[in-house]
Structure 1
Amino acid sequence: MSNTVSIKWLLARLYEPDLVVADCRFWLNDAQAGRQKYNEEHIPRAIYFDLKEDLSSPISTHGGSHPMPEAEHIAKTLGRAGLSQDDRIVIYDDNNGMYAARLWWTLTYLGHTQVYILEQDFSAWKKAGFPVTDEQPIVVPKTFEARPQEGLLVDIDYVRPLSQRLSGQTQGKDTNTEHAGNTQIGNADTAASTVLIDSRARNRYLGLEETMYSKAGHIPGAVNFFWQDVLTETGSLKSKEQLEEHFAGLDKKAEIIVYCGSGVSACPNILALKQVGFENVKLYTGSWSDWISYEENPIATGEESIG
């Protein structure tokens, strides 16, 4: 089954007992807005997860601006909200799936296999005339067993030597490259065994501007695939054919490490990669905000190529 479901699919199964609906609406410029909007109206039976309060651990010197909580900690949060490994979980937001994808990847990391993202957002659900409510669901706490898939997350100690290797590979490469999507692709026959993907907007990757953090640029060796480019104009994930074309320059046998600013908007890219058969995909959880917290880490600007 796909990692996404349609609003009609959810409507038809909304009251099935093993189905849990999760609302992840959030806005960085107003941290209370998501909770407020949920209290005003939401999909019936939906429970709310807050990016900062529920899906991130407290910020420290390193680890990024939305650190992933320890597996047992997030498992307790999920259990208190009435989730278990036996439930089917459908997640939505009103933010092009960015925060829904963060919870999807968190649950995937914890070993949950029946978790899906609503293909369209809450606004699409409401526009279709489907039911909404302000009633808070009755939550019966459960035990959510954490089964962490350790290979799905990487940290600075993994990325730093990888960056050194990749940036060394790219130095002195032939500049005659073929443009594919947002990335300069070199010789497809010599695709790198590991690819580091920066999911942020192109100007941020190139170092032309930085809208959120103190330093502009990207991790040396990284290539750019902007996360919103995997979406249609309505905010749904593009078709598998479109995604295959988008990622055509990547080797499906390669290890793919994905990052963004804080480990959130990288997740739609991971969803899209998984949707078209990339199996060895990992999240650098701290992402750019963690990378620049180490003064000794180098920063690259401009374009880089794969292979």
Structure 2
Amino acid sequence: MDNLPVVSASWLYEHIGEEKIAIADCRFSLANPQLGQQQYQLSHIPGAHYLDLNSDLSSPVQKHGGRHPLPDFNQLAAKLSAMGVDSQTLVVAYDDSRFAFAARLWWLLRYMGHKRVAVLDGGFKAWQVQGYPISDEVPQSQPAKFDWQLQPAYAVDIDIVKARKDLPNVALVDARESDRYRGISEPIDPVAGHILGAVNYPWQDVSTPDGYLRPQSAQSDRWQELKGAEEIIVYCGSGVTACVDLLSLQLAGINTGKLYVGSWSDWCSYS
């Protein structure tokens, strides 16, 4: 199970309640930051704990560093410990946004050295479509000890991007939708466009419109042109949806992907 990046709703239903499985509800709305918590309180997969993008999976915004800086890892580790997560626990993350937020937790856990993590294919909707039970009960804490050690090779900052982006064996990938990449529209950041030299692989292409991951063969084909790269640096607007592309790379069997944590919101903050 160590490297299983995705599980189906039926698999989770068959294994729900097992001691070494923890479920994380990562639903969130950038337009309404309270919505995910409200949705969780109304209904969620039984036993799931809620992890909030802003308060759990990020830290407060500074002048530089992007709109979703990395979280306080001691705090996140404490939260995971309270969820009963230790080194043997498989964490299953889900959302209802085509992996936009579940993949952030998937990447963060791997960055913290915990590889027993997967996303739920199809998200909460897939669980509901199958008619599986839902709950509004908040599970009690199940104290465990989540040990972590950051994996430096998984992340890069602006200085590393500047130093490496134009090297012949490095690919720089912009995971945003094509209109933002091309500078046609920019709904969030103060500057439109992309980092010079970046190629565009929109994160939405990783899944179908109804939120299921495209087949592994499609993930592999998607990255065909970059398979020879020794290093693939991925960014988006704030280091969140880029994690969906990193998940896609993992599904394609490519282990050279790195996250530019601050992403475009950090890059353009120096403009």
Name the TM tier (shorter chain).
Answer: over 0.9
Please show how residues 14-93 of structure 1 align to structure 2 within 5 Å. Answer: 14-93=16-95
Counterpart contact for 1:93–1:100, Cα < 8 Å:
yes
Of 205, 228, 246, 1:270 maps to 246
- The residue that corresponds to 2:116 in the other structure is 114
- Length-normalised TM-score, structure 2: 0.95
Counterpart contact for 1:110–1:147, Cα < 8 Å:
yes
Of 222, 229, 252, 1:246 maps to 222
Aligned residue type for 1:291: W
CA distance in 1, matches of 2:265, 2:171: 20
- The residue that corresponds to 1:161 in the other structure is 163
Paired residue secondary structure (1:293): helix
Please show how residues 225-240 of structure 1 align to structure 2 within 5 Å. Answer: 225-240=201-216
Using the TM superposition, give the Cα deviation of residue 140 of structure 1 relative to its aligned residue in structure 2, in angstroms.
Answer: 2.2
CA deviations 1:238-296 (Å, max 9, x no partner) are: 1111112211111245200000000000011000001111111100000000001112x
- The residue that corresponds to 1:187 in the other structure is none
- The residue that corresponds to 2:186 in the other structure is 210
Please show how residues 127-142 of structure 1 align to structure 2 within 5 Å. Answer: 127-142=129-144
Paired residue secondary structure (2:24): strand
CA distance in 1, matches of 2:76, 2:155: 15
Paired residue secondary structure (2:23): strand
Q: CA RMSD in A?
A: 1.3
Larger radius of gyration: 1
Percent identical residues? 44
Of 180, 196, 199, 1:220 maps to 196
CA distance in 2, matches of 1:74, 1:289: 23
Paired residue secondary structure (1:98): coil
Unmatched 5+ residue regions in structure 2?
Answer: none
CA distance in 1, matches of 2:80, 2:228: 32
Paired residue secondary structure (2:237): coil
Of 89, 94, 97, 2:96 maps to 94
CA deviations 1:94-123 (Å, max 9, x no partner) are: 111110000000000011121010011112
Counterpart contact for 2:169–2:229, Cα < 8 Å:
yes
- The residue that corresponds to 1:178 in the other structure is none
Q: How many residues were matched structurally?
A: 269
- Length-normalised TM-score, structure 1: 0.85
CA distance in 2, matches of 1:227, 1:208: 18
- The residue that corresponds to 2:173 in the other structure is 197
